[in-house]
Amino acid sequence: MVEEIRSHLTDRIIPFWRKLRDDANGGYFGYVGYDLKVDEKAVKGCILNSRITWFFSNAYMVLKDELLLAEAKHGYEFMKKHCVDQEKGGVYWSVRYDGTPEDITKHTYNQAFSIYALSSYYNASKDESALKMAMELFHIIESSCMDEIGYKEAFDREFREIENDKLSENGVIADKTMNTLLHVFEAYTELYRVSGDEAVGKRLMWILDTIAEKIYNPELHRQEVFFDREMRSILDLHSYGHDIETAWLVRRGTDVLGDKAYEDKMLPIILDLTSQVYKTAFDGSSLANECEKGVVDENRIWWVQAEALIGFLNGYQLDPARTEYLEAARAEWDFIKEHLIDKRPGSEWFWDVNKAGEAVSGKPIVEPWKCPYHNGRMCLEVIKRNVKE
């Protein structure tokens, strides 16, 4: 599995994203339709660009190919010049194809992914300006995107709070979300790893406490997803993909933090989330998407399968007696190979397929949310973990 995934990374994923480089206007083209036609005038999501920058930075650190570092630098230069609001601070939601602002919403989720990308780019390049930008965004989140309970979500250009329509789904508008908190944690983990900044470390501890005490539901063995302002859950929803992603990202965070008390506190939650997802959502080959009010969405989403593979691998590494987790990771890779990887020349992964593995939705191959962050990261994690089969 490891060598197959390495080959998939180097032969399919990396070439696909390199060819989307926009040398005329910077960054990477923001849309490829199901028909594989590139829209060179499409909006460029700042999340998309930060995730691509993160991906090439980490691919360089694993594969040591200087061409990958050049791609990461290309993404970083676009972030620095166009995605960051030079006057008001923070990162826009999206820009036009030429880099001019398109949606000037400032979202905590978006600030977090920029920190994630900038921290990794700094680690790859040792460019101090990237770390400086990451720390500036950290202080913006902490000073402008919080209340006394947790992280707020959406803001206008001046960081006045607005409705959180971008990270709300399933018919609700959430004041706070598990998703944003998780990715602030992920970004801060990377920032702390490369900077060792004490303030970042303290916020990691605070987020872990919040996950354990307000997000994680021990009775239902899951995380709650959408919350009101006081962090009360507002929807009966089990997001299988987020739970298995959280399991391994929290473990990564406690490893980076290096605090035994937090390792001990979070390990039972990590194991419980992994076990519950395996029991309730995995059918022996792939993972269902989510369960809302008892109704399961059986579609197989690209990012959910990628996170499931890493999460099950992580569960096996934490408890090698649970060999079923290793078998589940292998089965996920078989499903991905057979059904999610688009076999058409010059393509990448489908957005989703149905339970039978058929691509039916016709969703784009690239758009502001569809990027190499999940599947590319899956490949990099498998290579780094190098689990012997």
CB 134 within 8 A of CB 101: no
CB atoms near residue 149 (< 10 Å): 14
Q: Quote the pLDDT of residue 387.
A: 86
Residues 46-90 have pLDDT tens digits of 999 999 999 999 999 999 999 999 999 999 999 999 999 999 999
The whole-angstrom separation of Cα 119 and Cα 57 is: 9
Per-residue pLDDT, 216: 98
pLDDT digits (tens, 9 = 90+) for 7-26: 999 999 999 999 999 999 99
Mean pLDDT along residues 184-194:
98
Q: What is the pLDDT of residue 188?
A: 98
Helices (H), 198-301: 198-210, 240-257, 260-281
Q: According to the model, what pLDDT value does residue 278 have?
A: 98
310-314: average pLDDT: 98
Q: Which helix (H) or strand (E) holds 106?
A: strand 106-107
What φ, ψ does residue 227 adopt, rounded to 5°? -135, 155
267-293 average pLDDT score: 98
The C-alpha torsion from 316 through 178 and 354 to 335, rounded to 10°, is -20
Which string of b and e fits 234-246 if b means at least 16 CB within 10 Å?
bbebbbbbbbbbb
As a whole number, mean pLDDT of residues 266-278 equals: 98
Q: Please, what is the Cα angle at 279 between 246 and 262, to 5 degrees?
A: 35
Predicted local distance difference test score (pLDDT) of residue 218? 98
Backbone angles phi, psi at 87, to 5 degrees: -90, -45
The answer for residues whose C-beta is within 8 angstroms of residue 327's C-beta and 6 or more apart is none
Across 221-230, average pLDDT: 98
Cβ pair 205, 257 in contact under 8 A? yes
Q: How high is the mean pLDDT of the chain?
A: 97
- What SS3 class is residue 96? coil
- CB count in 10 Å sphere of residue 61: 16
Token pair, residue 167, equals: 């990270």
pLDDT score of 389: 67
Mean predicted confidence (pLDDT) in 261-290? 98
- Distance from CA of residue 228 to its chain's centroid? 23
Q: Do residues 156 and 149 touch, judged by C-beta distance below 8 A?
A: no
Rounded to 10 deg, the angle between the 240-257 and 178-195 helix axes is: 30
323-353 confidence digits (pLDDT tens) = 999 999 999 999 999 999 999 999 999 999 9
Confidence of residue 388 (pLDDT cuts 50, 70, 90): confident
Residue linked to tokens 């499409």? 42
- CB atoms < 10 A from the CB of 362, how many? 11
Give the model confidence (pLDDT) of 372-386 as tens digits: 999 999 999 999 998
Q: pTM value? A: 0.97
Residue 200 has pLDDT above 90, yes or no: yes
Mean pLDDT for the stretch of residues 193-210: 98
Domain ranges for the chain, please list them: 2-385
- What is the enclosing helix (H) or strand (E) of 216? strand 216-217
| 68 backbone dihedrals φ, ψ, rounded to 5° | -70, -35
**CATH-assigned architecture of domain 2-385:** Alpha/alpha barrel (1.50)
CA distance between the termini of the chain? 8
